[in-house]
Amino acid sequence: MMRIEQPYDEATGRPIPRRTPTSAPYFEAARQGKLRLQKCPRDGFFFYPRTACPRCLRADWSWKDVSGRGTVYSYTVDRMGLDPAQRSQVPLVVAIVELEEGPRMTSNIVGCTPEDVSVGQAVDVTFEDLGEETLIHFKLATS
C-alpha cells in the first residue's frame, strides 16, 4: 500500500488539507474569505466536494457562494487532544453545522468556550489562514 504524506503547518504542526482538482475551488474561495459549495441544478447544494451530485449522480453541478450562516446541528468537545497536533487547541469544539442553504458541514466552533455552544445556536463562517491553506471554521453569531 502506498502511503501519502499529510502536509503539516511548520509553525503549529497542525495538518493542512490536501487540495484535489475537485476541492480546489472550495479552498480558493476560502482564501478569498468566501464559502463556496457545489450546487446541482436538480437537487441543490451539497457538501463535501466531489465529482458528482450525491443524489442524482450527475456531474452538471456548478460552484456557488453561500451565506456562511447556519446553526449548530450537533457537537462534541475534545478535551484531551488525541491528535498531538491539536493538543494546543483543546478544548476543541467539533460541530456539525447545518447551513441556511441545507448542507451540513463538520467544522470547529472557534472564539468561545465549549459552555457557550448549544444545539440550534446560530453561527457564522470564519476563516483561519495557515499560510499554505485557509481553514473554514464557524463562530457564534453576534446578531
How high is the mean pLDDT in each 10-residue block of the chain (143 residues)? 66 79 96 97 97 97 98 94 78 96 96 96 95 93 85
> What is the domain count for the chain?
1
Distances in Å between the Cα of 36 and the Cα atoms of 32, 95, 118 are 10, 19, 25
Count Cβ atoms within 10 A of the Cβ of residue 29 and give its class: 0-12 exposed, 13-18 middle, 19 or more buried: buried
* Helix (H) / strand (E) containing 69: strand 69-78
In a domain, 11, yes or no: no
In a domain, 12, yes or no: no
Domain range for 32 is: 24-140
In a domain, 71, yes or no: yes
What is the reported pTM?
A: 0.88
In a domain, 129, yes or no: yes
In a domain, 94, yes or no: yes
In a domain, 100, yes or no: yes
In a domain, 132, yes or no: yes
